[in-house]
Amino acid sequence: MTPEFTIGRIRPIECVSEGFELIKDEYWMLFAISLVGALIAGVSVYILLGPMVCGIFICYMKKIDGGRVVFDDLWTGFQYFGRSLLLTILFVVPIVAYIVGVFATIYLPLIYSVVVRGGTREADILKIFLGAIAVDLVIAVIMVCIHSLLIFAFPLIVDKGLSSADAIKLSARAAWANMGGIAGLVGVNFLLALAGELACGIGLYLVIPLLTAGNIVAYRKVFPSATAPMLEPPPPTAYPELA
């Protein structure tokens, strides 16, 4: 049976704040898990991106649902290698497209100017620079749109046992129905990442657990779990005996 989802419960700043409160006592463990998972995904040329992301989300979800995290929880993500393969491809293709776009708009024209023309004029450099900015903006918008619609896909695979195809469709439906909250969450995450980048660059890595926790809290608000902690007070109608 396809899991149902809620609408209108994502409040971006509250998600990030609640996420931090829930993970702060095991922040460094989750930081290490995130860092190792990202390194393995990168070293494997993103072949292991799916299992690593699944393992990372398993750890964060376990913590946010009230459990304790151990480092070995990361490796449980390998159970979802096949199930997450299609989703991994959808995440990797835009990254490859970005790399190809950068090469085609910056390095290839420079190589052509140096090899064929024997040099590069200032006007050519300006054209290359403007072209690179245009390509970056287009690809950035496409990637943000794709990732926003797929924001719940990996958690759905590990939490609900869905296939990539089913997780993609359900994530897109849920994200579209909660687009205001998702857009706000993306904006808050961007500002936090920017603040981390401005902190000598190293701060970007330190905010990763905060961003991930905020996303998982948002997921739990849209796809509640019977075992998840109460993330917001119930309505007054939940206690008719007090009326």
Q: Tokens for 212, please give them.
A: 């991930």
Q: What are phi and psi of 11, to 5 degrees?
A: -120, 105
Look at residue 230 and tell me whether its pLDDT is greater than 50.
no
Which residues, including other chains, have CB under 8 Å from residue 77's CB and lie 6 or more apart?
37, 50, 51, 52, 53, 54, 55, 56, 57, 58, 158
Look at residue 162 and tell me whether its pLDDT is greater than 60.
yes
Distance CA 128, CA 237 (A): 62
75-80 contact pairs (CB < 8 A, 24+):
77/37, 77/50, 77/51, 77/52, 77/53, 77/158, 78/51, 79/51, 79/54, 80/50, 80/51, 80/54, 80/157, 80/158
Which residues, including other chains, have CB under 8 Å from residue 221's CB and lie 6 or more apart?
6, 9, 10, 15, 231, 232
| Band of residue 229 on the pLDDT scale cut at 50, 70, 90 | very low
| Whole-number average pLDDT of the chain | 85
Task: List the helix and strand counts (H, then E) for the chain.
Answer: 11, 0
The answer to whether 221 and 231 are in contact (CB under 8 A) is yes
In the chain, % of residues over pLDDT 90? 60
**Residue linked to tokens 């494997």:** 44
Average pLDDT score over residue span 105-109: 70
pLDDT at 208: 94
Q: What string of DSSP letters covers 152-173?
A: THHHHHHHH---HHHHHHHHHH
> pLDDT tens digit string along 40-91?
999 998 899 999 999 999 999 999 999 999 999 999 999 999 999 999 998 8
Q: What is the pTM of this model?
A: 0.80
Look at residue 174 and tell me whether its pLDDT is greater than 80.
yes
Look at residue 198 and tell me whether its pLDDT is greater than 50.
yes
In the chain, % of residues over pLDDT 70? 80
pLDDT at 231: 46
Name the amino acid, one letter, at 69.
V
CA angle 140, 142, 148 (to 5 degrees): 100
Look at residue 92 and tell me whether its pLDDT is greater than 90.
no
pLDDT at 11: 95
Look at residue 238 and tell me whether its pLDDT is greater than 60.
no
> pLDDT tens digit string along 25-44?
999 999 999 999 999 999 99
47-60 burial code (b ≥16 CB/10 A, e <16): ebbbbbbbbbbbbb
Looking at per-residue confidence, does 69 or 115 come out higher? 69
Candidate ranges 13-22, 90-99, 128-137; pick with highest mean pLDDT: 13-22
Q: What are phi and psi of 8, to 5 degrees?
A: 80, 15
Candidate ranges 72-76, 91-95, 113-117; pick with highest mean pLDDT: 72-76
